[in-house]
Amino acid sequence: MPCPEVQTGRVEIPGEDYAHIQSSVDRGKHLWRLSPVRTAQVVGSRNLGLGKSDSYTFVEQFKEAGSGLQHAVVRVRHRTCSYLVELYQPETQGPRGIWVAMSVTEE
């Protein structure tokens, strides 16, 4: 049974300035952005209809062949539904780079 409150498809959050977010993290603020699981949880519960208490599980991390961008996938169990949240690092790549939600697909 689908969970209609969850936004699926490409994720675009109005006003999200990646350079500003990366700069904030570099200064020690919003460090949850360094974790794909925590980013999926915070962004998902604030903007995508997911819940803070849903189950968030890291699935995989990979580098995009053409661009070299780091991607990660997080599985979310929301009520009776299961979703995959794909994230990527738009600014800095690696352990100091922020994660940004890119898409949500029903599993």
* Per-residue model confidence (pLDDT) at position 1: 63
pTM above 0.85, yes or no: yes
Edge-to-edge strands, sheet with 55-63: 9-10, 100-106, 81-88, 70-78, 55-63
- pLDDT number for residue 67: 87
Predicted pLDDT of residue 2? 77
Segments of the chain with pLDDT less than 50 = none
Residue 83: closest CA among 41, 31, 38, 27: 41
Provide φ and ψ at 86, rounded to 5°.
-100, 135
Render pLDDT for 68-82 as a digit per residue (tens, 0 to 9): 899 999 999 999 999
Predicted pLDDT at 105: 97
